[in-house]
Chain A
Amino acid sequence: MTVRKNQASLTAPEKKAFVDAVLEVKRIGVYDEFVLAHRTRFSIDMNTGVYVGHFGPSFLPWHRKFLIDFENELRKIDPSVSIPYWDWTADNTVGSSLWAPDFLGGTGRPLDDQVMDGPFAHSGGKWTINVSVDSRAFLARNLAYRVPTLPPRSDVDAALAMPTYDSPPFRDGSAGFRSALEGSAGYMSMHNRVHTWVWGHMETSVSPNDPVFWLHHAFVDKLWADWHALHPTSAEYLPAGGTADVIDLNDTMPPWPNTTPQSMLDHTPFYTYA
């Protein structure tokens, strides 16, 4: 059974196993397929007005499936590995062990935001950016530069307290838990704010180029599970059907042929949280 743990509680061997699996998935070319899928989804979302991966209710089930697929690739390399989650309300400084050289490495240098330490530094030879929207071949970050603080726990608790999953128009600014958690209900808040706080590739449509993407989204996914536990009588997902340009409960989510929000509501067949 796959158990996702708080990154702060990982042992040194667990960190090394995760990093090694990520590097191997990268080496064999599979990692970049995930970056490509994310870039493509964002671009289609931009150009069609049908919001599948972002800006709408299917943000949460789409990313849940995206992480399950990636986790499966890691476990082909090492069955002991799972995606850890980063609770950015608690580990909320640039001094967090998350950013140490034995895990994800730290912030970028001033000249070009290039990450210079850790396993994903370009200078280490194992992490070249191949799928992108700009010419940077190195992983870039500038922690706490654009926005100085990560979302506080009070913001998370306020979102978790909302009894409604999502509401019309099912877009940026919609009332409800999904929009509050995604961060589209307020300027630079929640999920969106974390991307912006990390900066560099995490701020772009090719954000999975930074491995912290997976730890960030694992925590977002855990908050969805926490919300569901807090509101057992609320509809787990909205809208239920018949909504133009929006993924309804039983609509198929591209790029997968058979994945619907309904099929993603229960995470426990795939993994549990420690």
Chain B
Amino acid sequence: MPGPTRRQALGAAIGVAAGGALVGVTSASADTVPAGTRSGAGTAGRTGEPGSFDEVFKGRRIRGTPAEAHASAHAHGHAGHGAGYRVLIDGRELPVMRHGKSGWSSTINHYERFATPLEAARTAVISLKGAVVVPFDPTA
């Protein structure tokens, strides 16, 4: 399975833009390569929750996994927080948030709504044009 290139891994490690050869290329066709087992990335599973994904999109490794429901998530029962799903771009966390029925957003695209975390991750890659995510969570 293709992983991140050496240059991307190095870039992610030292915090510089490392977009690889596809930076600036806006064609979305044929540059998405499955990079592992995908299960229901674009569709809700039986629980209504998005499944995991793992792919290379425009030269960037994007992964998403449903997080275990854990006690640190707030207890009010709203889905509007990022604790339920984890997205990584080249190994760096992209905070995502679910807005009830209207979809998902991320810190890179906070004013749009996406049907799935995969769409949020892909759009963040399009936005970044090679820049890397710098995680930030004041509540961590």
What is A's interface to B at a CB cutoff of 8 Å?
Answer: 39-40, 42-51, 54-55, 110-113, 132-136, 146, 169, 171-173, 183-184, 187-188, 191-193, 195-196, 199-200, 202-205, 207, 244-245
Contacts and interface: CB of A to CB of B under 8 A. Distances in A.
A55 B95 CA distance: 17
B107 A113 contact: no
Contacts of A207: 110-111
B68 interface: no
Contacts of B108: 133-134, 203-204
B17 A173 contact: no
A135 B17 contact: yes
Interface of B: 15-17, 23-24, 74, 76, 78-83, 95, 97, 99-102, 107-113, 127-139
Contact of A136 (B76, B111, B131, B139): B131
Secondary structure of the B side of the interface? loop
Nearest to A187: B113
Contacts, number: 124
Contact of B132 (A42, A45, A47, A134): A134
B29 to A, nearest CB: 18
Q: Which 9 A-B pairs have the closest CB atoms?
A: A195-B111, A49-B78, A192-B111, A172-B102, A46-B97, A172-B99, A47-B139, A133-B107, A205-B107
A245 B81 CA distance: 12
14 contacts: A44-B139, A47-B74, A48-B81, A133-B95, A134-B108, A135-B133, A135-B134, A136-B128, A172-B100, A173-B102, A195-B111, A196-B109, A203-B108, A244-B76
A39 B98 CA distance: 17
B135 to A, nearest CB: 8
Contacts of B97: 45-46
A104 to B, nearest CB: 19
Given A135-B131, A173-B101, 20 more contacts: A43-B137, A43-B139, A47-B74, A47-B81, A47-B139, A49-B74, A51-B80, A111-B23, A111-B129, A112-B17, A112-B23, A112-B131, A113-B129, A133-B95, A172-B101, A184-B99, A202-B111, A204-B107, A205-B107, A205-B110
